[in-house]
Amino acid sequence: MLRVGLTGGIGSGKSSVAARLRALGAHVVDADAVAREVVEPDTEALRLIGERFGPDVMRADGTLHRAALARVVFDDRDALRALEAITTPAITARVSLLRQEAPADGVSVFDMPLLVERGLWVHEHLTLVVEVDADTRVRRLVEQRGLPERDARARIDAQASDGERRAVADELIDNRGTPEELDVVVDALWRQRIEPYAANLRDGIRTRRVGRGAVVEPRDDWGRRGERVVARLAAALAPSGAATEVSHIGSTAVPGLLAKDVIDVQVGVRHLAEADREDVVLAMRDAGYVLSPGNSGDSPKPGTDPAAWGKRFYGGCDPALVVHVHVREFGSPGWRFALLFRDWLVHVPAEREAYAAEKRRLLAVDDDTDAYVAAKEPWFDDAWLRAQEWADETGWRP
């Protein structure tokens, strides 16, 4: 099941996107609806709220006086934390139950205003952010919900900033246009990314790089994409306790360097055998990564034990983002070199430029991806030695 997190600031039109995704076939869970449900009369959460905040937040008919409660917690952080301590466990349990109702091969959308603030986006395969400028959102809140402008701006300021949402967004949905224009955007996103992603997950198909022309000029978003992949993998593997760390490596982790449009990530494990544990393999698959059994080692570098270069290799299922995950034993030569090579290129401009020049030379000979990768190996053998010298000179450590 593909998990999609949907969020956006108040007044952005997130609900309209959720409605369109539902019409396209997604199973949508509305966090706001769940939050209302768990405090209905005769619920444990409502009983605890009454005990903590007193009769002023309860109506005569036994229902929650939402406006009164909002006035209590809006400017009181301790009160807000107390409220969240009561409602969050109930909401989490209900959301989990509702999401399990989605078809195993379908799409589950979690419509959550605080997806970014709560850090919950790391548990989703994709994060969609609906974005509209603040002035437009204020106007909508005043005209459509009857909020005073001051209150509308206060609510916007209390939420995550546009920059914070963009940092975790896999897709930004611009909702400044008409409802019809919004539907066109959402339909295209469903057709081009969401539906194929769900199919790849269902069938265990990883996204592969193109055969030719895979190397491109540096992209400004490689770093942010890598950070999102790292955060999601770290969250997925945390329950297993197997990973020592997760890091963005490779050329896309080096600002300004042309590269294959592939996010390479390294997962360290204490012992390589831990990578074969069933819970680890299942966690990787649940996170959207498919094991490639035929790729179980790196090319050994000069002066090292070839047996020490073992690894496990996974490919991501997102059709819009090629991700390669290299699982290596903590402290092994391959694990160390992946981190060293990245840092060496970041801190030594001459070596970064030399590597870029070698890439361009090889691409001029043959831009077939497999041929290009194989042709780089002799350069890597020499680079291994130079990088080791730099590490010794500078005292670099992983």
Mean pLDDT by 10 residues, the chain (398 residues): 95 93 98 95 95 93 92 88 94 95 95 94 98 87 84 84 94 94 97 98 93 87 97 98 97 96 97 96 97 92 92 98 98 97 97 94 83 85 95 96
Cα(175)–Cα(184) distance, rounded to whole angstroms? 11
Entry pTM: 0.91
Residue 107, φ and ψ in degrees, nearest 5: -125, 125
Query: What's the CA gap between 58 and 46, in Å, rounded?
Result: 9
Distance CA(94)–CA(195), nearest Å, equals 26
pLDDT on residue 287: 98
* One-letter identity of residue 122: V
Predicted local distance difference test score (pLDDT) of residue 134: 86
Tell me the three state secondary structure of residue 60: coil
Select from 359, 63, 26 the least CA-distant residue to 18. 26
How confident is the model at residue 228, as a pLDDT? 98
Q: Classify residue 299 by its DSSP letter.
A: P
pLDDT at 75 (0 to 100)? 79
pLDDT at position 243 is 97
Q: Are 4 and 111 in contact (CB under 8 A)?
A: no
Secondary element (H or E) of residue 125: none
Find, among 311, 229, 307, 239, the residue nearest to 275 by Cα. 311
- Looking at residue 363, its pLDDT comes to 87
Of the chain, the end-to-end C-alpha distance in Å amounts to 36
* Run of H or E including 397: none
